[in-house]
Structure 1
Amino acid sequence: MQLSKTQLIGLKADDFRHPLDLEATTTLKQLPGLDIIVRSLLGSVAEQFFYLNNIASSVLVSEKQLPHLHKLLVEAARVLDLEPPQLYLQQNPVPNAYTFAMQGKQPFMVLHTSLVEMLTPEEIQGVMAHELGHLKCEHGVYLTLANIMVLGASLLPTWGTAIAQSLQSQMLQWVRCAEFSCDRAALLVAQDPKVIMSILMKLAGGSPTIAPQLNLEAFIQQARDYEDISNTALGEMLKQAQTEQLTHPVPVLRAKEIDRWASSQDYHHLIEIGKTEYNQKATTKGGWRNW
Protein backbone atom coordinates (compact mmCIF):
# COMPACT_ATOMS: atom_id res chain seq x y z
CA MET A 1 0.00 0.00 0.00
CA GLN A 2 1.25 3.48 -0.87
CA LEU A 3 2.18 5.39 2.26
CA SER A 4 2.75 9.09 3.02
CA LYS A 5 0.62 10.30 0.14
CA THR A 6 0.83 13.89 -0.96
CA GLN A 7 -1.48 16.25 0.91
CA LEU A 8 -3.55 18.41 -1.44
CA ILE A 9 -2.99 21.59 0.53
CA GLY A 10 -5.73 24.16 0.14
CA LEU A 11 -7.98 21.76 -1.79
CA LYS A 12 -11.47 23.19 -2.28
CA ALA A 13 -14.61 21.19 -2.96
CA ASP A 14 -15.18 23.00 -6.25
CA ASP A 15 -11.75 21.84 -7.41
CA PHE A 16 -13.15 18.33 -7.88
CA ARG A 17 -16.93 18.67 -7.59
CA HIS A 18 -18.76 16.88 -10.40
CA PRO A 19 -20.68 19.24 -12.74
CA LEU A 20 -23.92 17.35 -12.09
CA ASP A 21 -23.44 17.82 -8.34
CA LEU A 22 -22.83 21.55 -8.83
CA GLU A 23 -25.93 21.90 -10.99
CA ALA A 24 -28.17 19.92 -8.63
CA THR A 25 -26.86 21.76 -5.54
CA THR A 26 -27.46 25.13 -7.20
CA THR A 27 -31.04 24.08 -7.90
CA LEU A 28 -31.63 23.07 -4.28
CA LYS A 29 -30.16 26.31 -2.97
CA GLN A 30 -32.83 28.16 -4.92
CA LEU A 31 -35.44 26.68 -2.57
CA PRO A 32 -35.61 29.47 0.05
CA GLY A 33 -34.76 28.52 3.62
CA LEU A 34 -34.51 24.77 3.02
CA ASP A 35 -31.05 24.38 4.57
CA ILE A 36 -31.94 26.64 7.52
CA ILE A 37 -35.10 24.65 8.25
CA VAL A 38 -33.26 21.34 8.23
CA ARG A 39 -30.43 22.63 10.43
CA SER A 40 -32.72 24.27 12.98
CA LEU A 41 -35.27 21.46 13.23
CA LEU A 42 -32.96 18.45 13.00
CA GLY A 43 -29.39 19.58 13.57
CA SER A 44 -28.73 19.36 17.30
CA VAL A 45 -31.24 16.57 17.95
CA ALA A 46 -29.96 14.38 15.13
CA GLU A 47 -26.31 14.86 16.03
CA GLN A 48 -26.95 13.93 19.65
CA PHE A 49 -29.13 10.96 18.71
CA PHE A 50 -26.56 9.47 16.37
CA TYR A 51 -23.72 10.18 18.78
CA LEU A 52 -25.47 8.25 21.57
CA ASN A 53 -26.34 5.41 19.22
CA ASN A 54 -22.77 5.11 17.95
CA ILE A 55 -21.08 5.36 21.31
CA ALA A 56 -23.47 2.75 22.75
CA SER A 57 -23.50 0.11 20.02
CA SER A 58 -20.42 0.57 17.83
CA VAL A 59 -16.66 0.52 18.33
CA LEU A 60 -14.95 3.92 18.31
CA VAL A 61 -11.77 3.63 16.23
CA SER A 62 -8.68 5.41 17.56
CA GLU A 63 -4.92 5.11 17.92
CA LYS A 64 -5.60 2.56 20.66
CA GLN A 65 -8.57 0.81 19.04
CA LEU A 66 -8.06 -0.74 15.59
CA PRO A 67 -5.13 1.62 14.90
CA HIS A 68 -4.68 0.36 11.32
CA LEU A 69 -8.14 1.73 10.44
CA HIS A 70 -7.41 4.95 12.31
CA LYS A 71 -4.21 5.43 10.32
CA LEU A 72 -6.06 4.97 7.03
CA LEU A 73 -8.61 7.60 8.04
CA VAL A 74 -6.02 10.14 9.20
CA GLU A 75 -4.04 9.79 5.99
CA ALA A 76 -7.15 10.13 3.78
CA ALA A 77 -8.28 13.23 5.69
CA ARG A 78 -4.85 14.85 5.36
CA VAL A 79 -4.73 14.24 1.62
CA LEU A 80 -8.08 16.02 1.28
CA ASP A 81 -6.97 18.78 3.69
CA LEU A 82 -9.60 17.92 6.30
CA GLU A 83 -9.73 17.22 10.01
CA PRO A 84 -10.63 13.54 10.45
CA PRO A 85 -14.08 12.90 11.93
CA GLN A 86 -14.84 10.24 14.51
CA LEU A 87 -14.87 6.75 13.01
CA TYR A 88 -17.07 3.92 14.26
CA LEU A 89 -17.08 0.26 13.27
CA GLN A 90 -20.53 -1.30 13.47
CA GLN A 91 -21.53 -4.97 13.28
CA ASN A 92 -23.77 -5.32 10.25
CA PRO A 93 -24.05 -8.01 7.53
CA VAL A 94 -24.91 -5.41 4.84
CA PRO A 95 -21.75 -3.80 3.37
CA ASN A 96 -22.19 -0.07 3.80
CA ALA A 97 -20.61 3.14 5.05
CA TYR A 98 -22.08 6.53 5.82
CA THR A 99 -21.20 9.88 7.31
CA PHE A 100 -23.11 12.56 9.17
CA ALA A 101 -22.41 16.23 9.81
CA MET A 102 -25.23 18.70 10.31
CA GLN A 103 -23.70 21.56 12.25
CA GLY A 104 -20.03 20.62 12.11
CA LYS A 105 -19.78 19.89 15.83
CA GLN A 106 -19.75 16.11 15.86
CA PRO A 107 -19.06 14.80 12.35
CA PHE A 108 -18.65 11.05 12.25
CA MET A 109 -18.23 8.15 9.85
CA VAL A 110 -19.54 4.60 10.24
CA LEU A 111 -18.17 1.51 8.53
CA HIS A 112 -19.99 -1.81 8.63
CA THR A 113 -17.95 -4.88 9.55
CA SER A 114 -19.05 -6.75 6.40
CA LEU A 115 -17.62 -3.97 4.23
CA VAL A 116 -14.25 -4.04 6.01
CA GLU A 117 -14.07 -7.82 5.68
CA MET A 118 -14.64 -7.66 1.91
CA LEU A 119 -12.15 -4.93 0.97
CA THR A 120 -8.37 -4.54 0.91
CA PRO A 121 -6.75 -1.79 3.04
CA GLU A 122 -6.42 0.45 -0.03
CA GLU A 123 -10.10 -0.05 -0.81
CA ILE A 124 -11.16 0.59 2.79
CA GLN A 125 -9.30 3.89 2.62
CA GLY A 126 -11.06 4.63 -0.67
CA VAL A 127 -14.42 4.19 1.05
CA MET A 128 -13.27 6.48 3.87
CA ALA A 129 -12.19 9.08 1.31
CA HIS A 130 -15.58 8.86 -0.40
CA GLU A 131 -17.30 9.58 2.90
CA LEU A 132 -14.86 12.40 3.62
CA GLY A 133 -15.93 13.81 0.26
CA HIS A 134 -19.40 14.39 1.74
CA LEU A 135 -17.79 16.45 4.51
CA LYS A 136 -15.51 18.32 2.12
CA CYS A 137 -18.44 19.21 -0.15
CA GLU A 138 -20.67 20.05 2.85
CA HIS A 139 -23.36 17.64 1.72
CA GLY A 140 -24.58 17.03 5.27
CA VAL A 141 -27.78 19.10 5.33
CA TYR A 142 -29.24 17.93 2.04
CA LEU A 143 -28.01 14.37 2.55
CA THR A 144 -29.89 14.18 5.84
CA LEU A 145 -33.06 15.55 4.26
CA ALA A 146 -32.80 13.06 1.39
CA ASN A 147 -32.49 10.15 3.81
CA ILE A 148 -35.48 11.36 5.82
CA MET A 149 -37.60 11.77 2.70
CA VAL A 150 -36.75 8.26 1.49
CA LEU A 151 -37.78 6.89 4.89
CA GLY A 152 -40.89 9.04 4.94
CA ALA A 153 -41.93 7.91 1.47
CA SER A 154 -42.12 4.33 2.70
CA LEU A 155 -43.81 5.06 6.01
CA LEU A 156 -46.03 8.11 5.62
CA PRO A 157 -48.84 8.36 3.06
CA THR A 158 -48.67 12.15 3.23
CA TRP A 159 -45.56 11.98 1.04
CA GLY A 160 -47.89 10.96 -1.78
CA THR A 161 -48.83 14.54 -2.63
CA ALA A 162 -47.58 15.97 -5.92
CA ILE A 163 -45.45 18.62 -4.17
CA ALA A 164 -43.82 16.09 -1.86
CA GLN A 165 -43.17 13.68 -4.71
CA SER A 166 -41.58 16.46 -6.74
CA LEU A 167 -39.30 17.46 -3.85
CA GLN A 168 -38.41 13.84 -3.17
CA SER A 169 -37.50 13.31 -6.83
CA GLN A 170 -35.36 16.46 -6.72
CA MET A 171 -33.59 15.31 -3.56
CA LEU A 172 -32.88 11.85 -5.00
CA GLN A 173 -31.51 13.44 -8.15
CA TRP A 174 -29.23 15.61 -6.02
CA VAL A 175 -27.93 12.77 -3.85
CA ARG A 176 -27.11 10.64 -6.92
CA CYS A 177 -25.13 13.56 -8.36
CA ALA A 178 -23.38 14.14 -5.02
CA GLU A 179 -22.06 10.57 -5.08
CA PHE A 180 -20.06 11.34 -8.23
CA SER A 181 -18.18 14.11 -6.40
CA CYS A 182 -17.39 11.80 -3.49
CA ASP A 183 -16.07 9.13 -5.84
CA ARG A 184 -13.70 11.79 -7.16
CA ALA A 185 -12.56 12.54 -3.61
CA ALA A 186 -11.86 8.83 -3.21
CA LEU A 187 -9.74 8.86 -6.36
CA LEU A 188 -7.76 11.87 -5.13
CA VAL A 189 -6.77 9.81 -2.10
CA ALA A 190 -6.24 6.44 -3.80
CA GLN A 191 -4.55 8.02 -6.84
CA ASP A 192 -5.35 4.81 -8.72
CA PRO A 193 -8.71 4.51 -10.50
CA LYS A 194 -8.60 0.71 -10.34
CA VAL A 195 -8.84 0.88 -6.54
CA ILE A 196 -12.10 2.83 -6.73
CA MET A 197 -13.53 0.71 -9.53
CA SER A 198 -12.67 -2.43 -7.58
CA ILE A 199 -14.66 -1.11 -4.60
CA LEU A 200 -17.67 -0.54 -6.85
CA MET A 201 -17.30 -4.01 -8.38
CA LYS A 202 -17.25 -5.66 -4.96
CA LEU A 203 -20.25 -3.65 -3.79
CA ALA A 204 -22.12 -4.80 -6.89
CA GLY A 205 -21.36 -8.50 -6.54
CA GLY A 206 -18.79 -9.32 -3.94
CA SER A 207 -18.42 -11.11 -0.63
CA PRO A 208 -15.41 -11.97 1.55
CA THR A 209 -14.99 -15.27 -0.32
CA ILE A 210 -15.96 -14.17 -3.84
CA ALA A 211 -14.23 -10.76 -3.91
CA PRO A 212 -10.70 -12.11 -4.58
CA GLN A 213 -12.02 -14.01 -7.62
CA LEU A 214 -13.61 -11.00 -9.36
CA ASN A 215 -12.11 -9.72 -12.61
CA LEU A 216 -11.79 -5.93 -12.68
CA GLU A 217 -11.13 -5.70 -16.42
CA ALA A 218 -14.33 -7.62 -17.11
CA PHE A 219 -16.23 -5.23 -14.83
CA ILE A 220 -14.79 -2.21 -16.64
CA GLN A 221 -15.98 -3.71 -19.94
CA GLN A 222 -19.37 -4.23 -18.32
CA ALA A 223 -19.43 -0.51 -17.50
CA ARG A 224 -18.71 0.33 -21.14
CA ASP A 225 -21.51 -2.00 -22.27
CA TYR A 226 -23.90 -0.23 -19.90
CA GLU A 227 -22.98 3.13 -21.37
CA ASP A 228 -23.64 1.83 -24.90
CA ILE A 229 -27.29 1.24 -23.98
CA SER A 230 -27.77 5.01 -24.20
CA ASN A 231 -27.16 4.82 -27.95
CA THR A 232 -30.88 4.24 -28.43
CA ALA A 233 -33.78 6.35 -27.15
CA LEU A 234 -35.44 3.28 -25.61
CA GLY A 235 -32.27 2.29 -23.81
CA GLU A 236 -31.80 5.77 -22.35
CA MET A 237 -35.44 5.86 -21.21
CA LEU A 238 -35.12 2.49 -19.49
CA LYS A 239 -31.91 3.57 -17.75
CA GLN A 240 -33.60 6.70 -16.40
CA ALA A 241 -36.58 4.68 -15.17
CA GLN A 242 -34.21 2.26 -13.45
CA THR A 243 -32.34 4.93 -11.51
CA GLU A 244 -34.91 7.63 -10.69
CA GLN A 245 -35.83 6.08 -7.32
CA LEU A 246 -32.28 5.15 -6.33
CA THR A 247 -30.16 7.04 -3.80
CA HIS A 248 -26.93 6.08 -5.62
CA PRO A 249 -26.01 5.84 -9.29
CA VAL A 250 -25.63 2.24 -10.42
CA PRO A 251 -22.10 0.90 -9.73
CA VAL A 252 -21.13 0.42 -13.39
CA LEU A 253 -21.96 4.06 -14.16
CA ARG A 254 -19.90 5.26 -11.21
CA ALA A 255 -16.99 3.10 -12.40
CA LYS A 256 -17.22 4.59 -15.90
CA GLU A 257 -17.26 8.13 -14.48
CA ILE A 258 -14.13 7.44 -12.42
CA ASP A 259 -12.41 5.89 -15.42
CA ARG A 260 -13.20 9.02 -17.43
CA TRP A 261 -12.13 11.54 -14.76
CA ALA A 262 -8.88 9.69 -14.04
CA SER A 263 -7.85 10.45 -17.63
CA SER A 264 -8.81 14.12 -17.47
CA GLN A 265 -6.49 17.10 -17.27
CA ASP A 266 -8.40 18.40 -14.23
CA TYR A 267 -7.53 15.33 -12.17
CA HIS A 268 -3.85 15.25 -13.18
CA HIS A 269 -3.58 18.99 -12.59
CA LEU A 270 -4.77 18.60 -8.98
CA ILE A 271 -2.28 15.79 -8.34
CA GLU A 272 0.61 17.73 -9.88
CA ILE A 273 -0.21 20.84 -7.83
CA GLY A 274 -0.22 18.70 -4.70
CA LYS A 275 3.18 17.23 -5.51
CA THR A 276 4.63 20.68 -6.21
CA GLU A 277 3.39 22.11 -2.91
CA TYR A 278 4.59 18.98 -1.09
CA ASN A 279 8.10 19.47 -2.47
CA GLN A 280 8.07 23.17 -1.59
CA LYS A 281 7.05 22.38 1.99
CA ALA A 282 9.62 19.61 2.25
CA THR A 283 12.43 21.98 1.35
CA THR A 284 11.28 24.70 3.75
CA LYS A 285 12.76 24.31 7.23
CA GLY A 286 10.05 23.67 9.78
CA GLY A 287 7.40 23.94 7.13
CA TRP A 288 6.33 20.30 6.87
CA ARG A 289 5.12 17.68 9.28
CA ASN A 290 5.77 14.04 8.47
CA TRP A 291 2.74 11.77 8.82
Structure 2
Amino acid sequence: MQYKTEPVGNSLPKADSAKLGWSKLEPSQFRHPYDTQATEALRRLFPFEFLVRQGMGGVIEQAIFLDNLSSGVRVGPNQLPKIYNSLVEAKRILALDIPVDVYVKQNPVPNAYTMAMQGKKPFIVIHSALIELMSPQELQAVIAHELGHLKCEHGLWITVANIITNFAAQLPGLGRVLSEVMSMSIMRWLQSAELSCDRASLLVSQDPRVVVSVIMKLTGGSASFAGELNPDAFLSQAREFEKERQMMSNAAQMLTHPLPVTRVRELDAWSRSAE
Protein backbone atom coordinates (compact mmCIF):
# COMPACT_ATOMS: atom_id res chain seq x y z
CA MET A 1 0.00 0.00 0.00
CA GLN A 2 1.32 3.43 -0.89
CA TYR A 3 0.76 6.52 1.19
CA LYS A 4 0.72 10.09 0.03
CA THR A 5 3.38 11.93 1.97
CA GLU A 6 3.02 15.53 3.08
CA PRO A 7 6.04 17.71 3.92
CA VAL A 8 6.78 17.94 7.62
CA GLY A 9 6.10 21.51 8.75
CA ASN A 10 8.08 24.35 7.26
CA SER A 11 11.83 24.81 7.40
CA LEU A 12 12.86 28.19 8.80
CA PRO A 13 16.18 30.04 8.53
CA LYS A 14 18.59 29.29 11.39
CA ALA A 15 18.58 32.08 13.95
CA ASP A 16 19.77 32.66 17.47
CA SER A 17 17.56 33.47 20.45
CA ALA A 18 18.27 37.20 20.33
CA LYS A 19 17.18 37.53 16.69
CA LEU A 20 14.01 35.58 17.45
CA GLY A 21 13.24 37.65 20.54
CA TRP A 22 13.99 34.71 22.83
CA SER A 23 16.73 36.35 24.91
CA LYS A 24 14.60 35.55 27.96
CA LEU A 25 13.12 32.29 26.73
CA GLU A 26 11.35 30.52 29.58
CA PRO A 27 10.58 26.78 29.77
CA SER A 28 6.88 27.63 29.96
CA GLN A 29 7.06 28.93 26.39
CA PHE A 30 7.71 25.49 24.94
CA ARG A 31 6.66 22.96 27.58
CA HIS A 32 4.10 20.41 26.55
CA PRO A 33 0.81 21.00 28.46
CA TYR A 34 1.00 17.65 30.25
CA ASP A 35 4.55 18.43 31.35
CA THR A 36 3.38 21.79 32.71
CA GLN A 37 0.56 20.21 34.70
CA ALA A 38 2.78 17.55 36.28
CA THR A 39 5.54 20.02 37.12
CA GLU A 40 3.15 22.45 38.76
CA ALA A 41 1.75 19.65 40.89
CA LEU A 42 5.25 18.82 42.15
CA ARG A 43 6.15 22.45 42.78
CA ARG A 44 3.52 22.44 45.52
CA LEU A 45 5.85 20.03 47.37
CA PHE A 46 8.63 22.61 47.72
CA PRO A 47 10.32 20.99 50.76
CA PHE A 48 11.06 17.91 48.65
CA GLU A 49 12.63 20.11 45.98
CA PHE A 50 14.86 21.76 48.58
CA LEU A 51 16.00 18.40 50.00
CA VAL A 52 16.91 17.07 46.56
CA ARG A 53 18.83 20.20 45.61
CA GLN A 54 20.75 20.44 48.87
CA GLY A 55 20.94 16.81 49.91
CA MET A 56 21.47 13.68 47.90
CA GLY A 57 21.46 15.53 44.58
CA GLY A 58 24.99 16.75 45.22
CA VAL A 59 26.26 13.28 46.12
CA ILE A 60 24.80 11.67 42.99
CA GLU A 61 25.99 14.46 40.71
CA GLN A 62 29.53 14.29 42.07
CA ALA A 63 29.70 10.53 41.56
CA ILE A 64 28.48 10.76 37.96
CA PHE A 65 30.79 13.72 37.27
CA LEU A 66 33.79 11.62 38.31
CA ASP A 67 32.61 8.69 36.20
CA ASN A 68 32.27 10.91 33.11
CA LEU A 69 35.63 12.56 33.75
CA SER A 70 37.40 9.21 34.12
CA SER A 71 35.62 7.19 31.42
CA GLY A 72 34.57 9.64 28.72
CA VAL A 73 35.97 12.18 26.26
CA ARG A 74 34.99 15.72 27.28
CA VAL A 75 34.01 17.92 24.34
CA GLY A 76 35.58 21.36 24.12
CA PRO A 77 37.03 23.97 21.73
CA ASN A 78 40.04 21.71 21.15
CA GLN A 79 38.27 18.35 21.50
CA LEU A 80 35.62 17.45 18.93
CA PRO A 81 35.17 21.18 18.13
CA LYS A 82 32.25 20.67 15.70
CA ILE A 83 30.18 19.08 18.44
CA TYR A 84 31.26 21.82 20.82
CA ASN A 85 30.18 24.55 18.40
CA SER A 86 26.81 22.83 17.99
CA LEU A 87 26.42 22.86 21.77
CA VAL A 88 27.30 26.55 22.04
CA GLU A 89 24.83 27.51 19.31
CA ALA A 90 22.03 25.39 20.81
CA LYS A 91 22.57 26.92 24.24
CA ARG A 92 22.39 30.41 22.73
CA ILE A 93 19.15 29.68 20.91
CA LEU A 94 17.55 28.19 24.03
CA ALA A 95 18.90 31.05 26.19
CA LEU A 96 20.54 28.55 28.54
CA ASP A 97 23.27 30.49 30.28
CA ILE A 98 24.71 27.75 32.52
CA PRO A 99 27.90 25.78 31.81
CA VAL A 100 27.15 22.36 30.34
CA ASP A 101 29.74 19.64 29.78
CA VAL A 102 29.35 17.12 26.96
CA TYR A 103 31.06 13.72 27.18
CA VAL A 104 31.35 11.13 24.42
CA LYS A 105 31.44 7.51 25.55
CA GLN A 106 32.16 4.36 23.56
CA ASN A 107 28.89 2.46 23.33
CA PRO A 108 27.29 0.46 20.48
CA VAL A 109 23.76 1.57 21.45
CA PRO A 110 22.75 4.96 19.96
CA ASN A 111 21.70 7.06 22.94
CA ALA A 112 22.19 10.34 24.75
CA TYR A 113 21.18 11.40 28.25
CA THR A 114 21.59 14.15 30.80
CA MET A 115 21.10 14.83 34.49
CA ALA A 116 21.38 17.83 36.79
CA MET A 117 19.65 18.03 40.14
CA GLN A 118 21.60 20.88 41.71
CA GLY A 119 22.58 22.61 38.51
CA LYS A 120 26.25 22.76 39.53
CA LYS A 121 27.59 20.08 37.20
CA PRO A 122 25.05 19.64 34.39
CA PHE A 123 26.24 17.30 31.68
CA ILE A 124 25.23 15.50 28.52
CA VAL A 125 26.55 12.06 27.58
CA ILE A 126 26.50 11.02 23.93
CA HIS A 127 27.24 7.47 22.82
CA SER A 128 29.69 7.01 19.96
CA ALA A 129 27.12 4.99 17.99
CA LEU A 130 24.74 7.97 18.01
CA ILE A 131 27.36 10.22 16.44
CA GLU A 132 27.90 7.69 13.66
CA LEU A 133 24.16 7.44 12.99
CA MET A 134 23.28 11.15 12.90
CA SER A 135 24.10 13.96 10.50
CA PRO A 136 25.65 17.09 12.10
CA GLN A 137 22.24 18.82 12.07
CA GLU A 138 20.56 15.80 13.64
CA LEU A 139 23.26 15.51 16.29
CA GLN A 140 22.67 19.14 17.24
CA ALA A 141 18.94 18.38 17.52
CA VAL A 142 19.82 15.57 19.95
CA ILE A 143 21.96 17.97 21.98
CA ALA A 144 19.11 20.49 21.98
CA HIS A 145 16.73 17.80 23.23
CA GLU A 146 19.02 17.10 26.18
CA LEU A 147 19.43 20.84 26.84
CA GLY A 148 15.64 20.97 26.98
CA HIS A 149 15.76 18.58 29.95
CA LEU A 150 18.20 20.94 31.68
CA LYS A 151 16.16 24.03 30.80
CA CYS A 152 13.03 22.44 32.29
CA GLU A 153 14.91 20.90 35.25
CA HIS A 154 13.44 17.50 34.48
CA GLY A 155 16.22 15.67 36.33
CA LEU A 156 15.29 17.40 39.57
CA TRP A 157 11.56 16.81 39.29
CA ILE A 158 11.86 13.17 38.25
CA THR A 159 13.95 12.58 41.37
CA VAL A 160 11.37 14.37 43.52
CA ALA A 161 8.59 12.27 42.01
CA ASN A 162 10.50 9.04 42.70
CA ILE A 163 11.06 10.06 46.33
CA ILE A 164 7.35 10.68 46.79
CA THR A 165 6.47 7.35 45.18
CA ASN A 166 8.90 5.41 47.35
CA PHE A 167 7.57 7.16 50.45
CA ALA A 168 4.00 6.31 49.51
CA ALA A 169 4.94 2.64 49.12
CA GLN A 170 5.95 2.53 52.82
CA LEU A 171 2.56 3.73 54.03
CA PRO A 172 0.26 1.09 55.56
CA GLY A 173 -3.05 0.19 53.99
CA LEU A 174 -3.48 1.97 50.67
CA GLY A 175 0.21 2.91 50.42
CA ARG A 176 1.02 0.26 47.81
CA VAL A 177 -1.96 1.19 45.65
CA LEU A 178 -1.07 4.87 45.94
CA SER A 179 2.52 4.08 44.96
CA GLU A 180 1.39 2.19 41.85
CA VAL A 181 -0.90 5.02 40.81
CA MET A 182 1.88 7.56 41.29
CA SER A 183 4.31 5.35 39.33
CA MET A 184 1.93 5.40 36.38
CA SER A 185 1.65 9.18 36.74
CA ILE A 186 5.45 9.45 36.66
CA MET A 187 5.57 7.37 33.47
CA ARG A 188 3.03 9.66 31.83
CA TRP A 189 5.06 12.64 32.96
CA LEU A 190 8.29 11.16 31.63
CA GLN A 191 6.61 10.82 28.27
CA SER A 192 5.31 14.40 28.31
CA ALA A 193 8.78 15.64 29.31
CA GLU A 194 10.17 14.01 26.15
CA LEU A 195 7.56 15.88 24.09
CA SER A 196 8.72 19.16 25.64
CA CYS A 197 12.30 18.40 24.72
CA ASP A 198 11.35 17.51 21.15
CA ARG A 199 10.03 21.07 20.99
CA ALA A 200 13.39 22.36 22.23
CA SER A 201 15.00 20.44 19.37
CA LEU A 202 12.67 22.14 16.91
CA LEU A 203 13.46 25.59 18.30
CA VAL A 204 17.15 24.95 17.66
CA SER A 205 16.98 23.15 14.32
CA GLN A 206 14.14 25.31 12.92
CA ASP A 207 13.37 22.35 10.66
CA PRO A 208 10.79 19.72 11.73
CA ARG A 209 12.22 17.21 9.24
CA VAL A 210 15.51 17.17 11.15
CA VAL A 211 13.84 16.28 14.44
CA VAL A 212 11.55 13.73 12.79
CA SER A 213 14.61 12.17 11.18
CA VAL A 214 16.30 11.86 14.59
CA ILE A 215 13.29 10.01 16.02
CA MET A 216 13.05 7.84 12.91
CA LYS A 217 16.72 6.83 13.04
CA LEU A 218 16.50 5.99 16.73
CA THR A 219 13.45 3.86 15.93
CA GLY A 220 14.85 1.83 13.03
CA GLY A 221 17.90 3.45 11.53
CA SER A 222 21.44 2.42 10.67
CA ALA A 223 24.41 4.31 9.35
CA SER A 224 24.57 1.89 6.42
CA PHE A 225 21.16 2.89 4.99
CA ALA A 226 20.53 6.29 6.59
CA GLY A 227 20.45 7.95 3.17
CA GLU A 228 17.38 5.92 2.18
CA LEU A 229 15.28 6.90 5.20
CA ASN A 230 12.43 9.34 4.49
CA PRO A 231 11.11 11.59 7.32
CA ASP A 232 7.97 12.46 5.35
CA ALA A 233 7.10 8.77 4.93
CA PHE A 234 7.65 8.25 8.67
CA LEU A 235 5.24 11.09 9.40
CA SER A 236 2.65 9.41 7.15
CA GLN A 237 3.20 6.26 9.21
CA ALA A 238 2.54 8.28 12.37
CA ARG A 239 -0.70 9.63 10.95
CA GLU A 240 -1.82 6.12 10.02
CA PHE A 241 -1.10 4.91 13.54
CA GLU A 242 -3.23 7.71 14.98
CA LYS A 243 -6.30 5.96 13.55
CA GLU A 244 -5.39 2.64 15.18
CA ARG A 245 -3.70 3.70 18.40
CA GLN A 246 -6.51 2.93 20.84
CA MET A 247 -5.49 -0.73 21.01
CA MET A 248 -2.02 0.14 22.30
CA SER A 249 -2.92 3.05 24.58
CA ASN A 250 -2.86 1.02 27.81
CA ALA A 251 0.46 -0.73 27.09
CA ALA A 252 2.09 2.55 26.04
CA GLN A 253 1.34 4.15 29.41
CA MET A 254 4.18 2.18 31.06
CA LEU A 255 6.90 3.30 28.64
CA THR A 256 9.44 5.92 29.71
CA HIS A 257 9.29 7.55 26.26
CA PRO A 258 6.24 8.17 24.09
CA LEU A 259 5.85 5.90 21.07
CA PRO A 260 8.05 7.24 18.24
CA VAL A 261 5.07 7.87 15.98
CA THR A 262 3.35 9.79 18.78
CA ARG A 263 6.40 12.01 19.17
CA VAL A 264 6.45 12.69 15.43
CA ARG A 265 2.74 13.51 15.33
CA GLU A 266 2.97 15.87 18.33
CA LEU A 267 6.03 17.60 16.90
CA ASP A 268 4.39 18.08 13.52
CA ALA A 269 1.26 19.56 15.10
CA TRP A 270 3.29 22.02 17.18
CA SER A 271 5.50 23.02 14.24
CA ARG A 272 2.38 24.04 12.33
CA SER A 273 0.74 25.90 15.21
CA ALA A 274 0.77 29.63 15.86
CA GLU A 275 2.53 28.89 19.16
TM-score interval, normalised by the smaller of the two chains: 0.7 to 0.9
Other-structure match for 1:285: none
Q: Would you identify which runs of 4 or more consecutive aligned residues in structure 1 move more than 4 Å? A: 145-150
Please, what is the CA RMSD of the aligned residues? 2.5
Does structure 2 conserve the Cα–Cα contact (< 8 Å) formed by 1:10 and 1:81?
yes
1:37 Cα offset (Å)? 3.6
Query: What is the alpha-carbon distance in structure 2 between the residues aligned to residue 3 and residue 68 of structure 1?
Result: 20
Out of 67, 75, 79, the residue aligned to residue 93 of structure 2 is: 79
Query: What is the alpha-carbon distance in structure 2 between the residues aligned to residue 264 and residue 6 of structure 1?
Result: 20
Q: Secondary structure of the residue that 1:69 maps to in structure 2?
A: helix
Which stretches in structure 2 are left out of the alignment for 5+ residues?
1-11
Indicate yes or no: 2:43 matched with 1:29. Answer: yes
Query: What is the alpha-carbon distance in structure 1 between the residues aligned to residue 163 and residue 73 of structure 2?
Result: 25
Out of 51, 66, 69, the residue aligned to residue 55 of structure 1 is: 69
Distance 1:213 1:124, change over 3 A: same
Distance 1:4 1:220, change over 3 A: closer
Distance 1:146 1:251, change over 3 A: farther
1:4 Cα offset (Å)? 6.7
Query: What is the alpha-carbon distance in structure 2 between the residues aligned to residue 121 and residue 146 of structure 1?
Result: 35
1:168 Cα offset (Å)? 1.7
Out of 56, 61, 78, the residue aligned to residue 64 of structure 1 is: 78
Indicate yes or no: 2:27 matched with 1:13. Answer: yes
Counterpart residue type for residue 109 of structure 2: V
Query: What is the alpha-carbon distance in structure 1 between the residues aligned to residue 45 and residue 252 of structure 2?
Result: 24
Correspondence list, 1:131-150, <5 A: 131-144=146-159
Counterpart residue type for residue 197 of structure 1: V
- The structure carrying a bigger helix percent of its residues is 1
TM value normalised by structure 2: 0.85
Distance 1:149 1:52, change over 3 A: farther
1:115 Cα offset (Å)? 0.7
Does structure 2 conserve the Cα–Cα contact (< 8 Å) formed by 1:89 and 1:110?
yes
Which stretches in structure 1 are left out of the alignment for 5+ residues?
267-291
Query: What is the alpha-carbon distance in structure 1 between the residues aligned to residue 164 and residue 135 of structure 2?
Result: 34
TM value normalised by structure 1: 0.80
Counterpart residue type for residue 26 of structure 1: E
What does the per-residue CA deviation read over 1:228-251, in whole Å, with 9 as the maximum and x for residues that have no partner? 125xxxx2xx33222111111011
Distance 1:95 1:144, change over 3 A: farther
Query: What is the alpha-carbon distance in structure 2 between the residues aligned to residue 210 and residue 20 of structure 1?
Result: 36
Other-structure match for 2:9: none
Query: What is the alpha-carbon distance in structure 2 between the residues aligned to residue 77 and residue 177 of structure 1?
Result: 22
What does the per-residue CA deviation read over 1:204-226, in whole Å, with 9 as the maximum and x for residues that have no partner? 00111132221222111100011
Indicate yes or no: 2:52 matched with 1:38. Answer: yes
Out of 222, 233, 242, the residue aligned to residue 251 of structure 2 is: 242
Counterpart residue type for residue 125 of structure 2: V
Residue-pair matches, total: 254
Distance 1:173 1:26, change over 3 A: same
Q: Secondary structure of the residue that 2:244 maps to in structure 1?
A: helix
What does the per-residue CA deviation read over 1:181-211, in whole Å, with 9 as the maximum and x for residues that have no partner? 1111110000000000000000100111132
Out of 100, 115, 128, the residue aligned to residue 143 of structure 2 is: 128
Indicate yes or no: 2:193 matched with 1:178. Answer: yes
Indicate yes or no: 2:267 matched with 1:265. Answer: no
Counterpart residue type for residue 186 of structure 1: S
Q: Secondary structure of the residue that 2:78 maps to in structure 1?
A: coil
Query: What is the alpha-carbon distance in structure 2 between the residues aligned to residue 106 and residue 136 of structure 1?
Result: 14
Query: What is the alpha-carbon distance in structure 1 between the residues aligned to residue 58 and residue 46 of structure 2?
Result: 21
